[in-house]
């Protein structure tokens, strides 16, 4: 096929935590875009499903030094150790219900294939996967508002963020129709990206130097000098990833001017952070 | 006597019977057994191949008959009605408005089916509730544009010669899954002679493997 001759995409996201106001538009847009069922009691976090979830971080200081930051967390679409596609969830799935798209870098989830063992949920370090304890129930008439492009899930299967893959499929359809080989940056944007009123989320192809996400993140093409499993470490000193040293190689990058926010990306032991904070990706000695 | 002892006794009796298998009386029993086995096999086999599909699939008639051959000769080709939209998505079975591009309030021909079409749907401005033979399960994403536009495939490869048919066959629905019979294929054993006989995931994957060298990742065809 034509598109497979092209260089593989690596879709990713950078979220500016200094811009995020914690409004929750990304969560709402995600739920309505992806037919995510809501529960009678959404505050029951063992039952509710939030592909995109906004966490609240605080610097732990008392007034007047208190600072709050909101951290949106979709599926991190891990590339796994060495970015070879062995993400934590994929490597444990006994049903091959989740796989790594080497052409897009997107971790899939096939609901009809999943039998609900929830190994992937245990394996995911980011709590990005959710289990359907009940069949989805929509108020009468509301099922007419469901998106036909996203398959609704049933009781007993795991679901998670798909980077709005149906939007990629639709964008490619248009490209085929217009006789183009590839899609433009603006043609494929996730629902949360387009819904964010602060413009905190930037989505695009991390492999494409013309895409904004690449220009902000400046991913290091070489393995990290401290940990050879870490690929694509940002060369931007303000950018970090969650639990980066695990080598899961997430495609969600976070951006913040503030050091205490960047420190929240992992649980550092005493003294560790001082070593790590000035260590950034670099292509020169990679 | 305990159950175990009973079994042991029966077992020893059977083995004793085998020892005297040379008796003519036992030969008769064996012959009857063989006949019984063959009869039972034939009954099971026939009910499995003839009766089971009838039980498994429910037959539904289309709202009225549609003559593909006639329409192709009048309108041109498949794309005249089953076209791609400008955003590259597939139109599927056209809505009534597309029919009305050619049809008017009065029937163009004299068939009974067209009378039904005009009376029931055109004058009432009601969409025709066609059953779609090729409807895939909800979890499947199929891009017509990728196949017909980007890779130049024709409709016949997957849909067969439906364009040359003059009547619509009854729609058969799998009572368990709710899917069209055309997904599994007419042959209950799943034997396939033409590329369009069956349209299960394995069939898509086999063709992808052949044409692109790779079955494709899950999300290529799933949503």
**Which residues from A are below 8 Å from B179, CB to CB?**
none
Q: What is the pLDDT of residues B155-176, one digit of tens each?
A: 999 999 999 999 999 999 999 9
**Cβ–Cβ gap B218/A151 under 8 Å:** no
**Predicted pLDDT of residue B159:** 93
**Predicted pLDDT of residue A94:** 96
Q: From the CA of B215, how many Å to the nearest CA of chain A?
A: 12
Q: What is the pLDDT of residues B203-219, one digit of tens each?
A: 999 999 999 999 999 99
**Which residues from A are below 8 Å from B137, CB to CB?**
112
ipTM over 0.90: no
The pairing of strands A53-58 and A68-73 is antiparallel
Per-residue pLDDT for B12 more than 80? no
**Cβ–Cβ gap B223/A4 under 8 Å:** no
Compare CB distances from B217 to A2, A3, A99 and report the shortest one's residue. A99
**Cβ–Cβ gap B218/A103 under 8 Å:** no
**Which residues from B are below 8 Å from A79, CB to CB?**
none
Q: What is the pLDDT of residues A104-143, one digit of tens each?
A: 999 999 999 999 999 999 999 999 999 999 999 999 999 8
Q: Which two tokens stand for residue A68?
A: 């709050």
How many CB pairs below 8 A link A and B? 84
Compare CB distances from B87 to A108, A150, A174 and report the shortest one's residue. A174
Q: Running DSSP on this structure, what letter comes out for residue B101?
A: T
**Cβ–Cβ gap B149/A179 under 8 Å:** yes
Is A285 inside a domain boundary?
A: no
**Cβ–Cβ gap A165/B220 under 8 Å:** no
Residue A171 — very low, low, confident or very high, per pLDDT cuts 50/70/90?
A: very high
Per-residue pLDDT for B4 more than 90? no
Compare CB distances from B88 to A111, A112, A173 and report the shortest one's residue. A173
Mean pLDDT calculated for residue range B13-30 = 55
Q: Say if B152 is an interface residue toward chain A (CB within 8 Å).
A: no
Question: Strand, coil or helix: what is B172?
Answer: strand
Question: Strand, coil or helix: what is B155?
Answer: coil
The whole-chain average pLDDT of chain B stands at 86
**Cβ–Cβ gap B89/A102 under 8 Å:** no
**Predicted pLDDT of residue A62:** 94
User: What percentage of chain B has pLDDT greater than the value 90?
Assistant: 61
Per-residue pLDDT for A259 more than 50? yes
Compare CB distances from A108 to B86, B150, B219 and report the shortest one's residue. B219
What CATH number corresponds to the domain at position A182?
Answer: 3.30.70.20
Lowest mean per-residue pLDDT among A71-85, A222-236, B13-27, B110-124: B13-27
**Predicted pLDDT of residue B24:** 55
Report CA-CA distances (Å) from A254 to A12, A190, B176: 11, 16, 47
Residue A285 — very low, low, confident or very high, per pLDDT cuts 50/70/90?
A: very low
Per-residue pLDDT for A49 more than 70? yes
Q: Which of residues 84-113 of B touch A (CB under 8 A)?
A: 84, 86-89
Residue B190 — very low, low, confident or very high, per pLDDT cuts 50/70/90?
A: confident
Residue A3 — very low, low, confident or very high, per pLDDT cuts 50/70/90?
A: very low
**Predicted pLDDT of residue B26:** 61
Domains in chain A: how many in total?
1
**Predicted pLDDT of residue B13:** 46
Instruction: Determine which of A163, A173, A187 to mutate to test the interface with B (most B C-beta atoms within 10 Å).
Output: A173
Q: Which two tokens stand for residue A131?
A: 């289990």
- Cα A273 versus chain centre, distance: 24
Q: Residue for token digits 């060298």?
A: B213
**Cβ–Cβ gap B87/A173 under 8 Å:** yes
Per-residue pLDDT for B105 more than 90? no
Q: Which two tokens stand for residue A109?
A: 């989830």
Phi then psi dihedrals of residue B222, to 5 deg: -115, 155
Which of B20 and B103 is assigned the larger pLDDT?
B103
Is A270 inside a domain boundary?
A: yes
Q: Say if A169 is an interface residue toward chain B (CB within 8 Å).
A: yes
Q: Say if B218 is an interface residue toward chain A (CB within 8 Å).
A: yes
Q: Say if A143 is an interface residue toward chain B (CB within 8 Å).
A: no
The whole-chain average pLDDT of chain A stands at 92
Q: Say if A34 is an interface residue toward chain B (CB within 8 Å).
A: no
Largest CA distance in chain B: 88
Mean pLDDT calculated for residue range A90-115 = 95
Q: Which two tokens stand for residue B219?
A: 């999300």
DSSP conformation letters of chain A: -GGGTSPPP-EEEEEETTT-----HHHHHHHHHTT----S-TT-TTT---SSEEEEEE--PPTTS--EEEEEE------BGGGSSB-HHHHH-TT--S-EETTTTEEP--TTT-----HHHHH-TT---EE--S-----TTGGGGS-TTSPPP-TT-EE---SSHHHHHHHHHHHHHTT-SS--GGGS--HHHHH-TT--EEEEETT-TTSHHHHHH-B-SSBPSS-TT-BS-BSSTTEE-TTGGGS---SEEEE-S-HHHHHTTS-PPTTHHHHHTT----STT-
**Predicted pLDDT of residue B30:** 84
Residue B75 — very low, low, confident or very high, per pLDDT cuts 50/70/90?
A: confident
pTM: 0.87
**Cβ–Cβ gap B139/A174 under 8 Å:** no
Instruction: Determine which of B205, B218, B220, B221 to mutate to test the interface with A (most A C-beta atoms within 10 Å).
Output: B218
**Cβ–Cβ gap A151/B139 under 8 Å:** yes
Q: Which residues are CB-contacts of B11 (< 8 A; sequence separation ≥ 6)? A: none
Cα A241 from Cα A126, distance rounded (Å): 11
**Which residues from B are below 8 Å from A96, CB to CB?**
218
**Cβ–Cβ gap A101/B214 under 8 Å:** no
Q: Give the start-to-end residue ranges of the domains of chain B.
A: 60-93+130-221
Per-residue pLDDT for A45 more than 80? yes
């Amino acid at each position: 096929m034509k598109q497979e001759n092209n260089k593989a995409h690596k879709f990713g996201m950078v979220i500016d935590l200094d811009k995020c106001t914690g409004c929750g538009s990304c969560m709402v847009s995600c739920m309505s875009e992806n037919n995510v069922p809501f529960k009678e009691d959404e505050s029951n976090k063992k039952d509710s499903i939030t592909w995109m979830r906004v966490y609240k971080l605080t610097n732990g200081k008392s007034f007047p030094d208190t600072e709050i930051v909101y951290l949106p967390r979709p599926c991190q679409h891990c590339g796994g150790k060495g970015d070879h596609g062995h993400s934590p969830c994929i490597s444990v799935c006994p049903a091959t219900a989740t796989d790594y798209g080497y052409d897009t870098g997107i971790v899939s989830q096939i609901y009809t294939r999943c039998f609900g063992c929830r190994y992937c949920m245990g394996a995911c370090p980011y709590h990005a996967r959710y289990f359907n304890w009940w069949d989805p129930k929509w108020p009468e008439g509301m099922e007419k508002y469901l998106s036909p492009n996203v398959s609704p899930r049933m009781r007993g299967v795991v679901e998670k963020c798909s980077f709005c893959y149906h939007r990629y499929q639709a964008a490619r359809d248009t490209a085929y129709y217009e006789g183009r080989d590839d899609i433009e940056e603006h043609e494929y944007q996730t629902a949360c990206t387009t819904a964010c009123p602060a413009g905190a989320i930037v989505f695009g192809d991390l492999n494409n130097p013309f895409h904004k996400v690449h220009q902000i993140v400046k991913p290091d093409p070489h393995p990290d000098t401290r940990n050879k499993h870490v690929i694509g470490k940002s060369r931007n000193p303000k950018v970090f990833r969650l639990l980066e040293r695990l080598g899961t190689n997430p495609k969600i990058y976070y951006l913040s001017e503030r050091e205490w926010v960047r420190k929240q990306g992992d649980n550092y032991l005493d003294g560790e952070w001082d070593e790590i904070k000035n260590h950034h990706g670099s292509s020169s000695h990679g | 006597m305990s159950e175990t002892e009973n079994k042991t006794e029966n077992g020893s009796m059977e083995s004793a019977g085998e020892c005297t298998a040379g008796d003519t009386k036992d030969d008769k029993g064996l012959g009857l057994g063989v006949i019984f086995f063959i009869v039972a096999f034939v009954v099971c086999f026939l009910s499995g191949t003839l009766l089971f599909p009838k039980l498994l699939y429910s037959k539904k008639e289309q709202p009225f008959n549609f003559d593909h051959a006639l329409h192709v000769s009048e309108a041109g080709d498949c794309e005249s009605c089953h076209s791609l939209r400008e955003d590259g998505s597939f139109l599927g079975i056209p809505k009534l408005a597309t029919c009305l591009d050619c049809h008017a309030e009065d029937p163009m021909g004299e068939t009974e089916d067209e009378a039904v079409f005009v009376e029931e749907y055109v004058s009432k401005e009601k969409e025709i509730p066609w059953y779609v033979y090729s409807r895939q399960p909800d979890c499947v994403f199929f891009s017509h544009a990728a196949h017909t536009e980007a890779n130049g495939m024709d409709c016949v490869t997957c849909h067969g010669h439906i364009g040359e048919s003059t009547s619509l066959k009854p729609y058969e629905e799998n009572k368990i899954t709710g899917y069209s019979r055309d997904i599994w294929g007419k042959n209950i054993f799943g034997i396939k002679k033409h590329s369009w006989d069956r349209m299960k995931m394995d069939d898509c994957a086999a063709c992808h493997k052949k044409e692109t060298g790779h079955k494709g990742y899950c999300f290529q065809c799933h949503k």
